[in-house]
Amino acid sequence: MEADAVNVTGDDNNNQQPFPVILDELGKPIGAAALAYLGDAVFELQVRKRLVTCGQYNLNGMHKAAVDTVSASAQAAALARLSPVLTPQEVAVVRMGRNTKTSVPRSASVSEYRLSTGFEALVGYLYLSGNERRLQELMNLVWEEGDRQDED
């Protein structure tokens, strides 16, 4: 599935990065909320894969680590770590996800939840656009930084 960049801002000047759009099988754009929905599942799978392949947890430990890693606050922190290396197109996807209207659970602040939704939208976008290499590159950066923080 190819990702097409479409300027949906209505602004013809080139100061604004066009919002990247992925089309579904019927040719309709997939919204940021749907990208975040998929990104949530993809990220959880990435986390579980990493925990299983590290081989250092029992099942209860892996579950607790996974829950902690996929929390809104952890995803918001991951996005903050990735921000310096994101492309303008990826930033546009994050912005779309962050600005999506959603209800916020009690377990997260509005700010954290919006940032985590932006992170999930980015993960879903990279997955659906077939950019697995870039997705893995970003996940590796998240893991490296997380490992450094665990050592402190």
pLDDT of residue 150: 55
Average pLDDT for the chain: 83
Residue with tokens 């604004």: 16
Does 69 map to a domain? Answer: yes
Structural domain tally of the chain?
Answer: 1
In whole angstroms, give the CA distance from residue 47 to residue 65.
9
In whole angstroms, give the CA distance from residue 118 to residue 126.
12
Q: What is the pTM of this model?
A: 0.81
Does 26 map to a domain? Answer: no
Q: What is the pLDDT along the chain (152 residues), one digit of tens a residue?
A: 433 332 222 233 444 556 678 888 888 989 999 999 999 999 999 999 999 998 776 899 999 999 999 999 999 999 999 999 999 999 999 999 999 887 777 777 889 999 999 999 999 999 999 999 999 999 999 988 766 655 55
Does 13 map to a domain? Answer: no
> Domain of 60?
31-151
Residue with tokens 């916020």: 104
User: Could you give phi then psi for residue 9, rounded to 5 degrees?
Assistant: -80, -20
Spot the catalytic one: 4, 11, 12, 40: 40
pLDDT of residue 22: 87
Task: Let me know if 73 is exposed, middle or buried by CB neighbors in 10 A (0-12, 13-18, 19+).
Answer: middle
- Going through the chain in order, the beta strands assigned E by DSSP cover 3-6, 19-22
Q: Is 40 a catalytic residue?
A: yes
> 51: how many CB neighbours lie within 10 A of its CB?
18
pLDDT of residue 55: 77
**Across the chain, how many H-helices and E-strands are there?**
6, 2
CATH at residue 75: 1.10.1520.10
